[in-house]
C-alpha cells in the first residue's frame, strides 16, 4: 500500500448541512406559521404534534434540525430532547427549543438535556433564519468531522492490515536469516564449534558462521553490520554469502594451492570484503569483522580484527586472554589496510568472538556490562561446554539486563579445542 491507496481527508461534505427540518408543537396553528416560512426557504419540513410522535419520526427519517416547543402535554420539549439524544447517538441533530421562558434556570435546564439553542416565541423570521444558519455551520463542521473520522478509521484498518502483513514478512525474514546458520553446533574429532545468534528485532545485523577449508582446517567468523532492521539484515545475507561456500569461487577465504585448497591470509580476507563492500555493494553501512582460520591439528590460529570486539581465548582455569589491536571496520575507506595476527590454542582452550551487543548491554540503571564484566561472566561459566555454555551466557546477560529483550543484536562464534578428547555438550543441539 502506498500513499495514493489511502483515502483523502475531505474538508467539506457534498450534501447541505440542513435539509430536513422537524417542527414539533401541539398547536397546529403554530406549526403552520413556522413550516410555511421554512418551506419558502427551501427546506424539507416535517411536523409532529407531540414528543412521542416526533421520536417515531426521527427514527424513520434522517432529520437534520428540530424546532420544538417547550410546553407540550405528555412529553415536553426538554424530555423530548433528552430522549432523542439517547435514541440517536449515531447522528447529531441540531435542536432548537421554542420557549417563552427566559430565566437562567430554564436556559440551564435546556442546555443540560442537550439543546443547542433557544428561540423566543412568538418566532421572528429573521431571528429564526439566523439561528438555522448557525445550526448549519455547526452541523457542517460536525459532519465533516464525522466523515473524516470515518476515513481515518478506514485508513487505520488498512494500516493495521498493512502492518500485520509486514509483521508476517518480517517473521519469515527472521526465519530465513536464522536459516543461514545451517548448523549451530558441530563436533570435530579434535574440537567443536558452537554458534549463537539473537536479533534485537525481527531481523538484525549480526552474523556468525564457519566453514571447512581443508582437512583439519576451518574458518570461523563473526561480523556486525551497522544499524538495525531490514537493510542491515539484507547486507548480512549478502556478506555471509562471501564466506559460505567451500570453493575458492564462492568463498573469499579459500584459495587453490598446489595440493588442494588452502586458507587465505585473514588480513586479505578483510581487505577483500572491504573492496567488495566499497565497489560492488552500494551502501552507507559499514561492518565490523572478526575472522579466524583454525588449524585443528596444531592449535594454530590466524586471525584478523576489523573493528570487531577483541577475540578472546578462555583457558581451562577460567582466565581470559584478549587478542588483537582493534583495526578499521570494513566498508569505511577504500584505502583501509588490515593486519593479521596469530595465536596458538592449548588443549582445553576455547576461542570466542562475541559481538558488542554483549559488552554494551546495559543493566536497569544504564551501566554497560563492559569487557571486564564479560570476562567475569565467562569465568563463572568456565566449566560448561558447547551449547550449554552459550545458553548460560544468555541467561547471565538477561539477569544483568533485567530482561531477555536485549537492545542490540547478540551473537557469539566459539571454537573449543580438545585434541584427542570428545567434546561433550550438556544441552540438545538446536535444529
Q: The CATH number of the domain where 227 resides is what?
A: 3.60.40.10
Structurally, the chain folds into a number of domains equal to 2
Q: Please report whether residue 427 resides in a domain.
A: no
Of 133, 149, 165, which residue constitutes the final position of a domain?
A: 149
| pLDDT the model gives residue 422 | 53
Answer yes or no: do 305 and 390 share one domain: yes
Answer yes or no: do 114 and 217 share one domain: no
| pLDDT the model gives residue 233 | 74
Answer yes or no: do 68 and 193 share one domain: no
| pLDDT the model gives residue 179 | 59
pTM: 0.64
Of 99, 131, 149, which residue constitutes the final position of a domain?
A: 149
Q: Please report whether residue 159 resides in a domain.
A: no
Answer yes or no: do 83 and 213 share one domain: no
Q: Please report whether residue 168 resides in a domain.
A: no
| pLDDT the model gives residue 173 | 54
| pLDDT the model gives residue 55 | 93
Which whole-number Å values give the CA distances from 187 to 193, 195, 212, 221, 429, in the listed order?
Answer: 6, 12, 12, 17, 11
Q: Please report whether residue 155 resides in a domain.
A: no
Q: Which domain holds residue 129?
A: 3-149
Helix (H, G, I), strand (E, B) or coil at 156: helix
Report residues of the chain scoring pLDDT below 70.
1-15, 101-103, 166-182, 201-204, 229, 282, 421-431
Q: Please report whether residue 243 resides in a domain.
A: yes
DSSP string over 346-393: PTT-EEEEE-HHHHT-B-TTS-B-HHHHHHHHHHHTTT--HHHHHHHH
Answer yes or no: do 240 and 316 share one domain: yes
Cell of 10: 475531505
Please, which contacts does 7-14 make with residues 24 or more away whose CB atoms are closer than 8 Å? 7/151, 7/154, 7/155, 8/151, 9/148, 9/151, 9/152, 10/144, 10/147, 10/148, 10/151, 11/144, 12/140, 12/144, 13/140, 13/143, 13/144, 13/147
Q: Please report whether residue 425 resides in a domain.
A: no
Answer yes or no: do 257 and 118 share one domain: no
Q: Please report whether residue 141 resides in a domain.
A: yes
| pLDDT the model gives residue 102 | 65
Answer yes or no: do 188 and 100 share one domain: no
Given its phi and psi angles, is residue 370 left (phi above 0), alpha (psi -120 to 50 degrees) or beta?
Answer: left
Answer yes or no: do 105 and 145 share one domain: yes
| pLDDT the model gives residue 171 | 59
Q: The CATH number of the domain where 128 resides is what?
A: 3.40.50.2300
Q: Quick: pLDDT tens for 232-286.
A: 777 888 888 898 877 778 899 999 888 889 999 999 999 999 999 888 776 778 9
Answer yes or no: do 305 and 223 share one domain: yes
| pLDDT the model gives residue 254 | 94
| pLDDT the model gives residue 267 | 96
| pLDDT the model gives residue 15 | 61
Q: Please report whether residue 430 resides in a domain.
A: no
What's phi and psi for 372, nearest 5 deg?
-65, -40
Amino acid at each position: 500500500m502506498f500513499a495514493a491507496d489511502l483515502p483523502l481527508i475531505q474538508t467539506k461534505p457534498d450534501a447541505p448541512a440542513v435539509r430536513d427540518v422537524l417542527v414539533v408543537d401541539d398547536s397546529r396553528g403554530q406549526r403552520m406559521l413556522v413550516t410555511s416560512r421554512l418551506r419558502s426557504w427551501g427546506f424539507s419540513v416535517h411536523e409532529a404534534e407531540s414528543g412521542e410522535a416526533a421520536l417515531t419520526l426521527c427514527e424513520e427519517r434522517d432529520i437534520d434540525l428540530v424546532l420544538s416547543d417547550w410546553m407540550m402535554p405528555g412529553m415536553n420539549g426538554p424530555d423530548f430532547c433528552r430522549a432523542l439524544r439517547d435514541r440517536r447517538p449515531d447522528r447529531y441533530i441540531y435542536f432548537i427549543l421554542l420557549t417563552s421562558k427566559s430565566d437562567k434556570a430554564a436556559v440551564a435546564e435546556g442546555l443540560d438535556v442537550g439543546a443547542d439553542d433557544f428561540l423566543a416565541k412568538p418566532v421572528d423570521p429573521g431571528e429564526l433564519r439566523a439561528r438555522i444558519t448557525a445550526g448549519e455551520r455547526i452541523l457542517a463542521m460536525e459532519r465533516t468531522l464525522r466523515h473524516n473520522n470515518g476515513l481515518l478509521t478506514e485508513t487505520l484498518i488498512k494500516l493495521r492490515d498493512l502492518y500485520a502483513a509486514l509483521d508476517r514478512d518480517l517473521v519469515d525474514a527472521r526465519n530465513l536469516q536464522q536459516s543461514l546458520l545451517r548448523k549451530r553446533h558441530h563436533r570435530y574429532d579434535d574440537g567443536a564449534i558452537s554458534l549463537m545468534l539473537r536479533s534485537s528485532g525481527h531481523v538484525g545485523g549480526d552474523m556468525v558462521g564457519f566453514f571447512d577449508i581443508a582437512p583439519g582446517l576451518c574458518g570461523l567468523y563473526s561480523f556486525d553490520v551497522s544499524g538495525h532492521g531490514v537493510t542491515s539484515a539484507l547486507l548480512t545475507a549478502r556478506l555471509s554469502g562471501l564466506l559460505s561456500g567451500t570453493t575458492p569461487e564462492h568463498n573469499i577465504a579459500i584459495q587453490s594451492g598446489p595440493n588442494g585448497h588452502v586458507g587465505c591470509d585473514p588480513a586479505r580476507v578483510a581487505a577483500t570484503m572491504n573492496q567488495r563492500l566499497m565497489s560492488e555493494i552500494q551502501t552507507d553501512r559499514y561492518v565490523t569483522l572478526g575472522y579466524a582460520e583454525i588449524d585443528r591439528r596444531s592449535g594454530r590460529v590466524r586471525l584478523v580484527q576489523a573493528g570487531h570486539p577483541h577475540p578472546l581465548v578462555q583457558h581451562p582455569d577460567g582466565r581470559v586472554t584478549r587478542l588483537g589491536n582493534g583495526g578499521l571496520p570494513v566498508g569505511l575507506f577504500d584505502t583501509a589496510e588490515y593486519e593479521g595476527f596469530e595465536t596458538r590454542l592449548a588443549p582445553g582452550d576455547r576461542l570466542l568472538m562475541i559481538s558488542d551487543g554483549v559488552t554494551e548491554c546495559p543493566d536497569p540503571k544504564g551501566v554497560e556490562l563492559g569487557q571486564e564484566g564479560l570476562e567475569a561472566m565467562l569465568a563463572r561459566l568456565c566449566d560448561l561446554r558447547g551449547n550449554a555454555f552459550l545458553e548460560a551466557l544468555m541467561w547471565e546477560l538477561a539477569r544483568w539486563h533485567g530482561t531477555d529483550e536485549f537492545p542490540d543484536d547478540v551473537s557469539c562464534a566459539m571454537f573449543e579445542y580438545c585434541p584427542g578428547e570428545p567434546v561433550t555438550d550438556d544441552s540438545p543441539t538446536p535444529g
